[in-house]
Amino acid sequence: MNTRLLRRPLLGAIATLSLGLGLALPATAQSPYPSKPVRLVVNFPAGGPADLLARTIGEYLQRSLNQPFVVENKAGAGGNVGATDVARSPADGYTLMVGIDTAFTVNPHIYDNMAFKPGDLKPVMIMASSGLLLGVSQASGIKRFGDLLSEGRKRSLNFSSGGNGSPGHLAVAMLSNSTPIKTTHIPYRGNTPAVTAVLAGEVDGGILATPGMLPHVQAGKITALAVTSSKRSQLAPQLPTVAELGLKSLETEVLYVVMAPAATPDAVMDVLQKNITSALQQPEAKERLKSLDMFYEGITGEAAARRLATMSTRYGEIVRNIGMKAQ
């Protein structure tokens, strides 16, 4: 008897039975997401607000999803370096960007050539928002906002920022456009060295993330003049908003976002959105947001995309009116 002839019908019957019972054969089996480590690419240096927030949610995601969430800092070109890395990665949920909105809302208007298009990435979530703090060095001799206006009419004031296209860069350009003062933008590689420059008197001031400035304000080493948010800072409620100083056009906010390659499957996006929402509701995350002077947003899907598009339109108009370009 030919055993090969008997084996073929038997194998066929097993396959048919498996399909009929809904059993997955090894060739089509898929592991649930995530089944391996996930990279969280922060497109600014370590120690800044985006980095601290990434590490906070990464710790929770690692516990809730039972896989490592590894934070990697890839700074440069106003956040474009890190965003490009993620845009060129497979759309499988294993490489995500955690950063701020400016790579998508400002950079397309000030960089002539970018290695990625904003449409190459889509928002997983807008996690939080924050304003900035306008502060000046002790060496500048400026004590009040009126002094800033007076000194800025006499000479060009040097302002640091976290890099070309960063919120501080845009805010300095808006300050110069909204008042008669003259400014010179001095870009640094991230918020932390930009704050250090103000502290050391290398520059006259900066319009930078509040948490990085405030310890030095409280120590009397940096003079705080105002915040750029529409409401007062949670950490320094005594400071006026720019609108209260008559400069509502200077109002600006920073959005802290998680972005994924545009073709990332909806099922993966759902897992991420659910778990990041849960992460941000944890007591330690709420405390982190407050310590960074951030307000919870939790916006996903089309609503998040519309928010970014609206900001891009506004900033595009400002950039064109000012003639701002990456230096």
Instruction: List Cβ neighbours of 72 (8 Å cut-off, separation of 6 or more).
Output: 39, 40, 41, 42
To the question of pTM greater than 0.75 for the whole model, the response is yes
One domain for residues 225 and 313: no
Q: DSSP for 58-77, please give it.
A: HHHHHHHHSS-EEEEE---G
Residue 275 CA to residue 39 CA, distance in Å, equals 16
46-102 pLDDT, tens digit each: 988 899 999 999 999 999 999 999 999 999 888 999 999 999 999 999 999 999 999
One domain for residues 68 and 205: no
Predicted local distance difference test score (pLDDT) of residue 30: 58
pLDDT above 70 as % of the chain: 91
One domain for residues 274 and 204: no
Provide the number of structural domains found in the chain: 2
**DSSP one-letter code for 97:** E
One domain for residues 168 and 237: yes
One domain for residues 126 and 257: yes
Predicted local distance difference test score (pLDDT) of residue 78: 85
| Mean pLDDT calculated for residue range 198-204 | 97
Q: Which position has the higher pLDDT, 2 or 215?
A: 215
Q: Is the pLDDT of residue 5 over 70?
A: no
One domain for residues 120 and 258: yes
One domain for residues 215 and 284: no
Predicted local distance difference test score (pLDDT) of residue 327: 64
213-269 pLDDT, tens digit each: 999 999 999 999 999 998 899 999 999 999 999 999 899 999 999 999 999 999 999
pLDDT above 90 as % of the chain: 76
250, 268, 287: which is the final residue of a domain? 250
